[in-house]
Amino acid sequence: MKKVVRKVFWAWQAEEEEQWLNEMAKEGWVLCEVGWCKYTFEPCEKGEYQFRLEYLANNIGHSESVKYINFIEETGAEYVGNWMHWVYFRQNTAKGDFELHSSRASKIKYMERVTGLISGLAIANLVIGASNILITLVTGTSFNIIGIANIILAWFLYRGYKKINAKCRKLVEEQQLFE
């Protein structure tokens, strides 16, 4: 029996998403398929698996991404699936702790990739929103809800950017202290 859950996580909520997937596994549900806001689970032993997410720099089919996934699988983890650049891994808890980032430097690189994604989306939405509003003002046409929606989304993405960027800066500071 499979269970499908639809849930939204933003790019800056990867830790919360991991935590939720791990809680599902503790309840006896293991992730077996992933899609846009769609998670498919099947029954497992309670606490049998641990999950980790990674945001890849390249598309899933890129040779560097394939190498990375193969490397993680060689460590004993399983590739569950992906959605765009996000990849999902699981490992049996009997194998011990499961971490993808064993150093501050690798965690910082990961966070920089995520902040790059978020800032790019925020800037694109800001430009599109401002352009739509400007066109509305210049042409004298009626209220432009799409422009306003883009501006609001840009603001929301910026808040997420600030959140993950603060975590990244803290890691950089810690790394400098221990060097």
Q: Which among 85, 86, 87 has a CA at the least distance from the CA of 77?
A: 87
DSSP result, 16-43 = HHHHHHHHHHHTTEEEEEEETTEEEEEE
Can you give the pTM of this predicted structure?
A: 0.87
Six token digits for residue 3: 């269970």
C-alpha neighbours within 13 Å on the C-beta side of residue 50: 13
Per-residue pLDDT of the chain (179 residues; tens, 9 = 90+): 999 999 999 999 999 999 999 999 999 999 999 999 999 999 999 999 999 999 999 999 999 999 999 999 999 999 999 999 999 999 999 998 899 988 889 999 999 999 999 999 999 999 999 999 888 888 877 777 889 999 999 999 999 999 999 999 999 998 888 76
CA-CA-CA-CA torsion sign (69, 75, 78, 82):
negative
Q: What is the 3-state secondary structure (H, E, C) of 102-137?
A: CCHHHHHHHHHHHHHHHHHHHHHHHHHHHHHHHHHH
